[in-house]
Structure 1
Amino acid sequence: MNLQQKIKSLPSTPGVYLMKDSYGTILYVGKSKELKKRVQSYFRPSTVHAPKIKRLVTHVSDLDHIVTDTEFEAFLLEWQLIQEYKPHYNRKMKSPQGFIYLTIPKNREYRSLKITTQPLNSEKFHCFGPYTSRKSVVRAIEGFKSIFRFQCSHPNNKKSRCLNYSLGLCNGICLGGSALEAYDQMLDLLIAHLEQQDNGLMKLVNSRMEEAAEKLEFEEAARYRNYRNILNSLFYKEEVIHFTEENHKLAIVEEIDEETGKVFFIQRTEVVLVEKFAFGDGMEGLKVKILEHLSTRATEAPFQGVTKFEIDKAQIIYSYLNSGNCRYVIIDDSWLDEENERMLLEQLNGLLPEKNA
């Protein structure tokens, strides 16, 4: 069966696809809720395909696929296969820097915002991250400088106006004095915002957005709105890390069809049990298996910080929990005690579709 025939014969189900070259080397691993539709999209002429996609397609000679029962299972299998095979184009389509940090010096001299690939000394720097999207962090830095006019050409000079000052892009940081004080105040607001200690920066951005809208300056209002969205996007990675560090035990249920589902039991980012079951059978049998798999883990030492290795998987789990495509419950350790098994069963039954609950 040639490549085109394989593509036409793909099922419209969740699963993972593995693109290969003429030597059988796996070039790229992807996942989709609808395999056929997703894979076909690569091979249709399109002006929206990124250059990396176009190059990938020219090297694809063969294709394998693995069907999964659910979309979440496809996400997890994709991650597993990427770790195992390390396909060239999965790396190419991701930032070569991997994980990055936004750093700001604590020294009260002129403080610049910089991107680093490693966390810096916490005694000397405020350090936020890790983030997986360099583009998002760059946009956050550029947006901060743009909307508050901090685009100074030589901020350490403090003697003469820079070129950007004459263009209206710099508030006068290069001259020092009150302009530099204003910069420091805004930078303190940004730090407090990223530390989630104060929402003063967000209030200011919202206020300026509303003022611009009232004056019918819609382009200016859109700039503030876009920057507000960029600031909020930086919180997402922090939320993933905090959620993962809490070492939750999770039960996740996905529907396969009206009668059957799949349940995943997860400790932190480790999937410890996966079971396909009939909704009509209830959760009693699954409760017993949970107790067998998770009760021994209740006394384990807590994990340390989230590692670079697990952060991608942590993001998969966290994103899916918030997607609305599954039902889940965070299992309290106390429910694993013999006297509280009834509470565990009640919580698990709450994951069933309403007609089976």
Structure 2
Amino acid sequence: MDNPRLPYLAEKAHKLPLRPGVYIMKNRAGDIIYIGKAKALKNRVSSYFRAVEKHLPKVYQMVSHVHDFDYIVTDSEFEALVLECSMIKLHSPKYNILLKDDKGYSYIKVSKEPYPRIRHVFQREDDGATYIGPYISSFVVNETVDEVNRAFLLPTCTRRFPQEFGKGRPCLNFHIKQCMGVCRGRVSQEEYAEVLEQALEYIRGGGAQSVELLTRRMNECAEKMQFEKAAQLRDRIKAISRISESQKVVFSKVANQDIIALARSEQDTCAVVLKFRGERLVDKQDFLLGAVDDLDGARLEFLLRYYTTREDIPKRVQLDGEIEDIDIAAQLLSEQAGHRVEIRVPQRGEQQKLVEMARANAAERLSQKAERTGREVAALDELARLLGLSKPPAYIEAYDISNIGSDTVVGGMVVFENGRPKRACYRKFTIKTVQGTDDYASMSEVLSRRFGRYFDETQKDEAFDRMPDLILLDGGKGHVSTIVPLLASMGVSAPVFGMVKDDRHRTRAIAESGGEIAINSHRSAFTLVSTIQDEVHRFSITFSRARHQKSAFESTLTQCEGIGEKRAAEIFRHFKTIKAIRAATPDQLAEVKGVSKPAARKLYDFLHAED
């Protein structure tokens, strides 16, 4: 690092007190570039100026610009947290998380026509229509419009009513009972207006209130012996209830809460906030935070930055992971809100599903920048969390040993880059030094040869010139315990895990040296690891079968007079495949080194004796 001030900064930090407080990093011009809090100022600030080369990129860059720092001692960690939040809000330092959310507004439009439609629009127009909103999140408006149209069987087609009554057959939505079939001309404007009003009550009041009103009307109709109308209301209540139960998008059993989750890609991090008010999702916001080194630290910083700029703080905040000083953070938010605020990390049930939904939305936002699918981003992020990796593994190598008998033991290496197979970097290994079927020894040979090529600068190969972010072995903790010390002795620091199968040969868990990590409940990571395990097994077994077939055919060739083991091997090296050998003419067979024309004629006759 070319920061000549490091010795001075390290000496100054060493003289700091072991007390809580806030530190303020400044550049040469005196501008504040970072503000942080510490339980012990001396320990925290000193860590920035020790072993600088080992810092993660964002911290390394910040330290390279530090010219000096100030500090403020406080009486408690809580005071330090309050002061840090206040100063970040005031100065907006470059290397602290800055929240920018520049989305426009959305509206729910109820068109002005004999049979009004409910749609999502981005702008109000002077067209006599009714507009509900504005909403910050188009996501919420889209979901709400979709749900209300399905629950109340409102038409979403492009036909005009009543002009197009009876013109053409009803569309698919009518046949699958997602539309009342206005196009048939059997729904009066009065009947339609009543249903529309119920739909608008649903939008304004939420599912619970809507069900309560409809139930009251249904009972009134039943008392008046209006059984057909009561049955229609009953079906509408069932539709709303079914949607409420199946769609976590719209409703939550907790009346007022925020759901916060983060997702990472290699270059960026996104935080998503889902806001529930009155048991209903009313908004979604997403924020791009840039590259993040410490996800837990970023989560805490985002939480504090987000709520120090807002007055609407709910009674509960659900997070997708742990944060340091969670009780102190809750105390700070409680004092700012004027009521008790709980901060939780749900592990199961409805709340955990909502957290997963928020994380999926964060991954989807990142995928738009990375030109990858949201599922790919989410899978790599979830895998990193599960395995305790510092960042999502963009480059994964997986290995498997396969054999059909002791004479055809082979190894296969497959590569997944950004969650997708990179077939140009797949490689096959014929086991050379191991006698018999010893999976551990064979795996050791494969990894030794692979990383031997990495460190050999005289041999260039796209598949071997890059250090993987993650190594997966088809096997359990025995394989991992064998390979980890081998790679450590070679100077390879890439994390190594095993892929464990159940009795039905399906992925069950991830193995590490000390045991196993359950993976079944982590859908995105589970799908990715299963795909990798299936692919490396397919690649290896295909190579093993080809080798076995070749070995058997070589043995067959030696039954021909004049063809020994060496000549048989030379014939294979020349023609590459059994098909090519069988298709060769006597003259072409004679082109093989060591095969004379008489021997070539005998071999040709031998191969075509049964033709």
Greater gyration radius: 2
Q: Work out which structure has the larger RCO, using CA pairs closer than 8 Å and 6 or more positions apart in sequence.
A: 1
